[in-house]
Amino acid sequence: MDGFPCSISMKRESEMKNMYTEFAGAGTRDTGGGGIDMIGIVKGDITKFRADAIVNAANTGLLGGGGVDGAIHRAAGPELLEECRTLGGCKTGEAKITKGYRLPARFVIHTPGPVWRGGDHGEEELLANSYRSSLTLAAENDCKTIAFPSISTGVYGFPLDRAAAVAVKTICDFLDRDHRLGEVTMVCFDEKTRKAYEDAMASLYRGNGCGCKGHHSGS
């Protein structure tokens, strides 16, 4: 492993307890001063996750919707919608930032991911842009920690395995070249989603395609 630019630790849950507090709903994580450029993968409720910013898998109107989008708006309170109305929407693959209001997070970064149309309409690049735009906006606003949901894998129909591969590769590439962010966490809705992201991270590591540190935590 010393010969590689990355160090991704695939640890058993019992080993991880020394590094992370258990994420069971409060959404807290404690890295114990474990260094920079880390990726975490957990199962839980992103609206309860404590980070400088959480990412909303929004629609282009930024006026709320179903799934993660609706859950974030409900948890943040009506002030979030009021601010979103001033933003003039957002193009697919781009991102805009608001306050977090009643959420534990200081900021919400809203990014519309692509609708899956068979894979021949630039969906993977648009999805990568959603992650990249969100990470850039977080760094520009002095965020050190950011949490993502699985963008576009719900009603937008993006195949989960392909979306996970795009996400972890884009995040790792960003952290390789930009060290302003300290920690990025994928907060997965269910066990199936968490496993897909863990598998994508493991595959990226095996291919020596990641220069960041990554840790995988239990729910």
For residue 164, give the 3-state DSSP assignment: helix
C-alpha–C-alpha distance, residues 177 and 87, integer Å: 29
Domain that holds residue 51: 36-216
Give the Cα separation of 134 and 109 in Å (integer): 6
In a domain, 140, yes or no: yes
pTM for the model: 0.83
CATH of the domain at 82: 3.40.220.10
How confident is the model at residue 36, as a pLDDT? 34
Any domain includes 63: yes
Q: Which of 37, 52, 69, 173 is catalytic?
A: 69
* 30 in a structural domain: no
Confidence of residue 124 (pLDDT cuts 50, 70, 90): very high
Query: Mean per-residue pLDDT for 132-157?
Result: 98
Is residue 196 in a domain? yes
> What CA–CA distances, in Å, run from 45 to 149, 167, 170?
9, 19, 23
| Residue 69 falls in the annotated catalytic set | yes
Q: How far is CA 9 from CA 15, 23, 97, 98, 202, in A?
A: 11, 18, 32, 33, 9
Residue 13's pLDDT is: 34
Give residue 210's pLDDT. Answer: 60
pLDDT computed for residue 1 by the predictor:
30
100 in any annotated domain: yes
Region of poorest pLDDT, from 86-95, 132-141, 199-208: 199-208
Domain-embedded: residue 133: yes
State residue 105's pLDDT score.
Answer: 98
Mean pLDDT, rounded, of the chain: 84
The verdict on residue 148 lying in a domain is: yes
Give the per-residue pLDDT at 205.
84
The yes-or-no verdict on residue 7 having pLDDT over 50 is no
Percent of residues, the chain, with pLDDT higher than 70: 78
Confidence class for position 100, pLDDT limits 50, 70, 90: very high
- The answer to whether position 9 is within a domain reads no
pLDDT per residue over 15-42, tens digit each? 333 323 333 333 333 333 333 348 999 9
pLDDT category at 199 given cuts 50, 70, 90 is very high
Domain count, the chain: 1
If DSSP codes are grouped into helix, strand and coil, which group holds residue 98? strand
